Amino acid sequence: MRYISTRDDSSTPARKTFTDILLGGLAPDGGLYLPESYPQITRAELDAWRGLSYAELAFAVISKFVDDIPADDLKALIDKTYTASVYCNGRNPELAAEITPVRWLEPGLGLLELSNGPTLAFKDMAMQLLGNLFEYVLEKRGETINILGATSGDTGSAAEYAMRGKRGIRVFMLSPHNRMSAFQRAQMFSLQDANIFNIAVRGMFDDAQDIVKAVSNDHEFKSRYKIGAVNSINWARVLAQTVYYVRAYLAGTRSNDEQIVLSVPSGNFGNICAGHIARMMGVPIARLVLATNENDVLDEFFRTGIYRPRGTAETMVTSSPSMDISKASNFERFVFDLVGRDPNVVRALWASVDAGGSFDLTGTPHFARLPTFGFASGKSCHADRLATIRRIHEQYGIMVDTHTADGLKVAAEHRLPGISTLALETALPAKFEETIVEALGMTPARPASMVGIENLPQRVEVMDVDVDAVKRYIERHCN
Ligand SMILES: *Cc1c(COP(=O)(O)O)cnc(C)c1O
């Protein structure tokens, strides 16, 4: 399996291996990496896979995309990642062993639990594997990496819990000082591992993000201090997520004659991109339901064919904050497939996007082909979120988090007769207490290990919005 860039229009495109692109981000031409072609899942494989454990299934799927890590090593890395103790979250051992159990609300409608990892959000599903893959590849090459990132909440904690204590890896995570919830701060800042560095900047998330960009654009500094990233465009993250789409199909159906509808709360298009890939591999997914919050760029595209990313000033702060995104960083991967994998078309479309503009596929053959990709979309606002959290609690006695509520709201608008629907649960309600209290007047339960986490000692360096100060801090801690 080789990987190509969505923007490589040369007559002999560069063909990279999995480990070539594992540690990097964008391709040098600004595009995103995708496999040259999607390996297919045969009917016989789907039949055989019904009996597999999560880790066995993960190996079956991921090994189709990786040919430069010896199979035994890859298997060991996957086995050590997807264990009941990592994805336990205080549940009974049998449920924990399923890693991503389905919780049926009623016949034909269920939740795919993806949030039982260490930070209570689906990002652990991929990030934990990334931590183990990074450590393995760095050790083989005798290299080290300093991961620099900015977070408004979920990504930073998932990255830190995946990389803590890993050899050859340091994490420098910037966050906006006093802007995250007390729980999110405690999750990150209470980590005492020597390779984890939290930096709170006196500014907003965008200020933190701008510092990361500025440091990464200093090529001399970047290469001297081996600065890397683990952001949502990382191919290995998308690949690891593909596994649970296959799992969702197998767990949500009784035989391979059935199809399934899957609903996905979306921001950067990373999660649902993995669903698209599973569908391209032949998993019988009848519909991928894309749910946005008030920041509805993606819903707008799937309804109209117009992709109109917005600026920071136009991005709303909502009660499903992990979807407060107005430029979907993984969307280019889908559009590459939509336009028949023509890098020239992608280049032309993103020339406009990267210049702060938009594109409109209305009336083009590309837009005419859109329905064949199985997407449906919708949006959910604060009032919908509260109503859904209340309705699910009243009808089924289950608390869902705000993002999952957006997914359930839009799922209800796109169900298909005779086909089961699974809504992907992207976080646990304990992470977003305030809105749960607003909706239900009660506080969601926390896993025992996180009770009182706010009272633990915290390690964080508070700084002004100052690129040089961050660079000096990294220098001081790299020796
Ligand atoms: C990151 C995140 C999302 C959005 O996922 P994308 O891959 O960015 O589309 C949704 N819900 C939660 C809880 C998240 O942390």
Over the stretch 39-58, which tens digit does the pLDDT of each residue have? 999 999 999 999 999 999 99
* Residue corresponding to tokens 């409608």: 109
Distance 450 CA to ligand 1 centre (A): 21
Q: Is residue 357 part of a domain?
A: yes
- Ligand 1 nearest atom to the CA of residue 266, by list position: 9
pLDDT of 203 reads: 87
For residue 378, the enclosing domain spans 98-118+244-440
Over the stretch 453-477, which tens digit does the pLDDT of each residue have? 999 999 999 999 999 999 999 999 9
Q: In degrees rounded to 5, what are phi and psi of residue 105? A: -85, -40
Q: Is residue 325 part of a domain?
A: yes
Q: Is residue 176 part of a domain?
A: no
Over the stretch 79-114, which tens digit does the pLDDT of each residue have? 999 999 999 887 777 788 899 999 999 999 999 999
Q: Is residue 345 part of a domain?
A: yes
Residue 261 makes CB contacts below 8 A (sequence gap 6+) with 285, 286, 287, 289, 411, 414, 415, 416, 419, 420, 421, 422
Q: Is residue 364 part of a domain?
A: yes
pLDDT of 232 reads: 84
Ligand 1 pocket, Cβ-based, cut-off 6 angstroms: 121, 123, 154, 232, 265-271, 322-323, 403, 426-427
Q: Is residue 368 part of a domain?
A: yes
Number of domains composing the chain: 1
Residue segments in the chain with a per-residue pLDDT below the cut of 70: none
- Using DSSP's 3-state secondary structure scheme, residue 53 falls into coil
- Supply the CATH number for residue 257's domain: 3.40.50.1100
Q: Is residue 65 part of a domain?
A: no
Q: Is residue 238 part of a domain?
A: no
The maximal CA–CA distance of the chain, rounded, in angstroms, is 61
Distance 30 CA to ligand 1 centre (A): 23
Query: What are the tokens at 175?
Result: 């966050």
Over the stretch 4-15, which tens digit does the pLDDT of each residue have? 999 999 999 999
pLDDT of 390 reads: 98
Query: What are the tokens at 262?
Result: 């899957």
Mutate to test the pocket of ligand 1, among 114, 266, 320, 331 (most ligand atoms within 8 A of CB): 266
Q: pTM for this one?
A: 0.96
List of E strands, 151-298: 169-176, 196-201, 227-228, 260-265, 285-292
